[in-house]
A and B are shown apart, each in its own frame.
Chain A
Amino acid sequence: MCLAVPAQVLEIEGAIGRVSLSGVTREISMMLLPEAKVGDFVLVHAGFAMQLVSEKEAEETDALLAEMNGAPRTVGDLSGTVSAMEAAGAR
């Protein structure tokens, strides 16, 4: 469960902050993440900043890309799923 999205902190006043996601802003509570500063990216769930979002995401992806480099690409086509669609239509 638990829909949560990363957003950037625009301002903080006491326990209330305002965050932005693609230009959409909302007031949220900073009670659970008092260490957050203006400019930080934070994970927002149910109107609360829950955690700082670090740069690790990009690092993780780079590491995975390196790991996959040279791995074969043998199932790029959708043949399996298309036949499933046809089966669905036939039924």
Chain B
Amino acid sequence: MADKTVQLAHGAGGKLSHELMEGLILPAFSNAALDVLHDGARLTDLSGRLAFTTDSYVVQPRFFPGGNIGKLAVCGTVNDLAMTGAVPRYISCGLILEEGLPFAELTEILQTMKRMAEEAGISIVTGDTKVVEHGKADGLYINTAGIGELIEGTNIDPRSVKPGMKVLLSGTLGDHAATVLAGRHGLSLPEDIKTDCAPLAAMVQGILAAAPHTACLRDPTRGGVAAVLNEIAESAQVGIRIEEDAIPVRPAVQGVCDMLGFDPLTLANEGKCIAFVPAEEAEAALAAMKESPYGQEACILGETTEEAPGTVALETAIGGLRIVDMPLGAIVPRIC
């Protein structure tokens, strides 16, 4: 099977589809709900208030230092659930495969998904596989949807953010985007720089236990911290003020930014969390972040203010003040 590739027939529902399912997918994801191989998974042990989310993954390249598209697909959905204040329970896996994708690659991606699901304590209980013609899907696309149970006593809502709260960040910025973008533009990174992609459910449960009045949690993926802060400032109608000196960025990530003209505040992260916490619970929340292996460099980034509602301001290293605006979209290298 070493040099086998995905064929159109693997998605046609016949013998080859069955082979793909039995040979690759089931061995990777096997669990009681999935193994029934029914049209859908029957989830009989959920209770209380639920959270539900979905996301699609199309990253290029499919493999990058520290991870692959499968790791993103599980962690991304786990984290989206976690940010609502939920304990993630079940996710789905929709695969859109391009004809010609090596089985070896697909196997590695599925194995990564399995490992991440195990770490996050969730099961992949339903899914779908389609195959499209060569040249139509960059290898593969993945969609995952997830269900989680909301943690009792929490109420995560951007509109709960009030002036005077602390803004916490669970670690360094831009590791994921720098890792993916560097390769595209001929840059080689030192070995310790890799995607920060990680499941944050356990960290979030720690934060919510330590700081039950946490108002809002967000993972700064596309658009980075700049986008998240602007969205919260807008919906909560508070000002947000952060300090340039507090922003944690690894030197090599800053190096990528300097070379290609990027701003770390706008770069995507896949294993970071921003928390808006009442000042009196901020230290406890920070300690909880630091207890997680993914929160070692957690910090207090700034605070919310009554002044300038809807605006994100940054106090610069030399003591100036400027606006941090919503990023514009596609991140491309610039020379000027």
B-binding residues in A (CB < 8 A): 1-3, 5, 7, 21-27, 44-46, 76, 78, 81-82, 84-86, 88-89
**Any A CB within 8 A of the CB of B280:** no
Query: What are 10 A-B residue pairs whose CB atoms fall within 8 Å in the complex?
Result: A2-B336, A3-B334, A22-B251, A22-B252, A23-B190, A24-B182, A24-B188, A26-B188, A89-B306, A89-B308
Instruction: List 3 A-B pairs, minimum CB-CB distance, nearest first.
Output: A22-B255, A23-B190, A89-B308
Nearest B residue (CB) for A5: B258
Q: Point out the residues of chain A lying under 8 angstroms from B315, CB to CB.
A: 78
Within the complex, the shortest CB–CB distance from B240 to chain A, in Å, comes to: 11
- Within 8 Å by CB of B308, from A7, A22, A23, A85, lies A85
Within the complex, the shortest CB–CB distance from B135 to chain A, in Å, comes to: 30
Q: Point out the residues of chain A lying under 8 angstroms from B313, CB to CB.
A: 85
Within the complex, the shortest CB–CB distance from B238 to chain A, in Å, comes to: 10
Within the complex, the shortest CB–CB distance from A91 to chain B, in Å, comes to: 9
Within the complex, the shortest CB–CB distance from A72 to chain B, in Å, comes to: 16
A86 to B305, CA, bound (A): 10
Within the complex, the shortest CB–CB distance from A43 to chain B, in Å, comes to: 12
A27 to B334, CA, bound (A): 17
Number of A-B pairs, beta carbon distance below 8 Å: 68
B189 touches A88 (CB 8 A): no
Number of chain B residues close to chain A: CB under 8 A: 29
Within the complex, the shortest CB–CB distance from B181 to chain A, in Å, comes to: 11
A85 touches B251 (CB 8 A): no
A76 to B319, CA, bound (A): 8
Within the complex, the shortest CB–CB distance from A5 to chain B, in Å, comes to: 5
Q: Point out the residues of chain B lying under 8 angstroms from A21, CB to CB.
A: 255, 258-259
A89 to B308, CA, bound (A): 3
Within the complex, the shortest CB–CB distance from A30 to chain B, in Å, comes to: 15
B308 touches A81 (CB 8 A): no
B residues 257-314 with Cβ under 8 Å of A? 258-259, 261, 306-309, 311, 313
Interface string of B219-262 (1 = CB under 8 A from A): 00000000000000000000100000000000110111011010
20 additional A-B residue pairs with CB within 8 Å, beyond A78-B315, A78-B319: A1-B335, A3-B261, A3-B336, A5-B258, A7-B259, A21-B255, A23-B189, A23-B255, A24-B182, A24-B252, A24-B255, A25-B187, A46-B335, A81-B320, A81-B321, A85-B313, A85-B321, A86-B308, A88-B308, A89-B311
B residues 136-194 with Cβ under 8 Å of A? 182, 186-190, 193
B307 touches A24 (CB 8 A): no
Q: Point out the residues of chain B lying under 8 angstroms from A46, CB to CB.
A: 335
Q: Which of B255, B311, B319 has the most CB of A within 10 A?
A: B255
Nearest B residue (CB) for A26: B187
Q: Which of A1, A24, A27 has the most CB of B within 10 A?
A: A24
Q: Point out the residues of chain A lying under 8 angstroms from B193, CB to CB.
A: 23
A24 touches B336 (CB 8 A): no
Within the complex, the shortest CB–CB distance from A67 to chain B, in Å, comes to: 17
A27 touches B186 (CB 8 A): yes
B188 touches A25 (CB 8 A): yes
Q: Point out the residues of chain A lying under 8 angstroms from B190, CB to CB.
A: 23-24
